[in-house]
Structure 1
Amino acid sequence: MIKKRLATVLTATVLAGGLVGVSAGAAHAYPRVNKCGSAYAFKKSWEITDSRALGTVVGFIDIYYNSGNGYNCAIARGNDTVVTGQHEITVALRQSGGGAWSQDGAGSNYTSYAGPVYAYAKGACVDFVGRLAYNEFSGQGDAGYSHEHCG
């Protein structure tokens, strides 16, 4: 319940500031491909769900980390068993506790993923948000996570 409430607050906060982004990786999704760079190690994928469709997973947010420079990277991607064609995918990332959001995809018409976006967080955690608007924007998935990955 707390995570869901936080996701709603983070998504609203980021979207109000012009942030949009989504991506991730699991079976039947646009394949998880490291677009962050060879020095970035994959950490985990988080789900983007459609609240109107009782939690249907519509995409994923993939998080990567570079231990050499302390930067995190995020990419959002759609679940192609649910979402096909072009759609708005957005992703945003920042160091937990504030600071500017690094974002990609606002107003986009992407077919596979948004990002990469980067945020410095050596010895700290990151917040990230993803959004996927699809089916002529009648369907929408949102996800927001705080303090989920710490490097």
Structure 2
Amino acid sequence: MRFTRSALAAVALAALSVGTTAVLAAPASAAAHTTPQQVCGKGYKTVNSAALGSLSTVYLTYNSSNGKNCVATIRNEPGARVAMSAWIYVPAVLEDGDQDYGWYTSYAGPTYVYAKGQCVAWGGGIKNRSVQVTGSNCAGVKEHRITITR
């Protein structure tokens, strides 16, 4: 449990730093109505999602052929660059995780982790809103969501 709290604290700190640091990242495509499958790739099916108000939705997808999960934060309406993030990790395997933080016009991600038969923690953010989901997609474990507005 100690790692989960420290990992979530690190993610929150990273999200805050994105809002105050100029990041020179290549902008994501500004295509309207981008889907999680367009971001994550062929074979990924949406298994969970978390809306961030009217700004965006964070999607968790899974590809059963390769055992990988993917997370993407997709804006409802593309526009000017804003701070966005997407992240995922496997709490049972401390070093397995991926994250993407930057200034984007349409989406953040994709972020991938191999998680066949594992629980995942995932989330993302846009502007001053973020969501953290733990205990996700686990048999017999209740999911826990925290939505933050700064």
Matches within 5 A, 1:98-117: 99-100=94-95, 101-105=97-101, 108-117=102-111
The answer to whether 1:44 aligns with 2:48 is yes
Number of the residue aligned with 1:53: none
Aligned-partner SS, 2:34: coil
Q: Normalized against structure 1, the TM-score is what? A: 0.65
Q: How does 1:2-151 map to 2 (within 5 A)?
A: 11-16=8-13, 18=14, 30-34=33-37, 35-48=39-52, 56-80=53-77, 84-97=79-92, 99-100=94-95, 101-105=97-101, 108-133=102-127, 140-150=128-138
CA contact (8 A) 2:58 2:71 kept: yes
Give per-residue Cα distances to partners, 1:49-84, cap 9 Å, x unaligned.
xxxxxxx4432111111112211001011233xx84
Identical counterparts, % of pairs: 28
Q: Match for 1:127: what amino acid?
A: A
Deviation at residue 33 of structure 1 after TM alignment: 4.0
- What count of residue pairs does the alignment treat as equivalent? 119
User: Which structure 1 residue ranges, 4+ long, deviate > 4 Å from structure 2?
Assistant: 8-11
Q: Which amino acid aligns with 2:11?
A: V
| Structure holding more helix per residue | 2
Unaligned runs of 5+ in 1: 1-7, 22-28, 49-55, 134-139
TM-score, with length taken from structure 2: 0.66
Q: 1:25 matched to which residue of 2?
A: none
Unaligned stretches of 5+ in structure 2? 19-31, 140-150
CA pair 74-9 structure 1, distance change in 2 beyond 3 A: same
Alpha-carbon RMSD across the aligned residues, in angstroms, is 2.9
Q: Which amino acid aligns with 2:137?
A: H
